[in-house]
Structure 1
Amino acid sequence: MKLLASYVPKADGQLVIWANTYKEKLGSIGAELGLSATVIAEQQATAQKLIDSIRKAALKRVEMKEATSAKELAKRTDLQLIRSMAAYIKAMPAYTPSMGLELGIVSPSQMVDENEVKPIITPVSYTGYVSIGFNKQRMLGIRLYSRLKGEQEWNLLRTVRRPPFIDKTPPREEGKPEVREYRAICFDGFKNKGHWSDIVAVVHGG
């Protein structure tokens, strides 16, 4: 059995032209065929509805394309302005990771459990001073303490935000080397956070 090609166009643009022709020609041809005015009007309304639906969809596609272009532009411009401000905020002295968490400007991999943070310190002795490098685990800073080996009491040196800290405390006895111990704890600008660092010793002086 041979199949006849459909007389209805598949492409939307051609379908609009076809439906519009059907609607206009049906007025005169329908009357010649004896179709009632009501039937003709219903068919013409149906054809117009089809035309309107196709045109509305086409308009929506144009609007969607424009909206997508506007979105991509916003990502390149507006979002970059926000990222720049976020970087500026993170560099401010009073900034803390908890603030960043509330603002949503830290990634999940950067989120810090302030109750579990533990700083790392690396003191190195030089002539006349001890340089203490440290990792503050994304907190505002650390509180750094020291003592001589064998002593019980720790002495606060300073609250430090950026490494290294230079400890210029002279030896107790000039010319005699001493073993200094250092430890630190993270600080959020208001109170200590997390766990004490490991106690790290260094021979200094002499």
Structure 2
Amino acid sequence: MNKSYFPQRIADLVLWYTNYKSKLPNYAAELNLTQAEIDSEVAYCEDMINAINLVTTQKGLLKSAFENRTSVLNDNNSKLKEDIARHKTAKFYTQAIGEDLGIVGSSVIFNPDTYKPVVSAALFGGAIRIRFTKKGVNGINLYVRHKGTSNWKAITRLTTSPFEYQPTLAVEGQPEHFEFRAFGVIKDQEIGVASDITEIIFGE
């Protein structure tokens, strides 16, 4: 008996399920199928199509939400900064008021021995988008490994954020679980301690 064929790519599965469920009733006699059996297989296909389409829809909504968040933060933060600057010129403004409102920055001494990068990973347009902040360093060295393994592989040195990383999957259409970490870099030398590990599943 020939091995049954199923597409490996998620994007191809919707077309495959749609074709199968629409044409299966045409071969009811040849395949000795009852109407109940046909209805059952059609329901399987429809459930899987709906599940795939739901992910696609949610990804679109998430992307839109991220874009909206960026726009709102950029616009409103700019306006709020102007208002806060005005508050600080008020006749009865004091340092204590500023500290209570959280609008007075604290002076933090940079220590290269304890510096720890902050790194995040998110799916974005078919790639993994890595974000980080320098906070006193020239850049970061970024490392990756498969979750459950021990060896870290250097990806690249980053000096600007964000960075889009697109790994090659071992099996096309089969998601893989990645972990990332980073070290701060000053004058080509790694300093401080490793960032917290951030992880993501890529290829769904």
TM category (shorter chain) comes to 0.3 to 0.5
- Structure with max Cα Rg: 1
TM-score, normalised to structure 1, is: 0.47
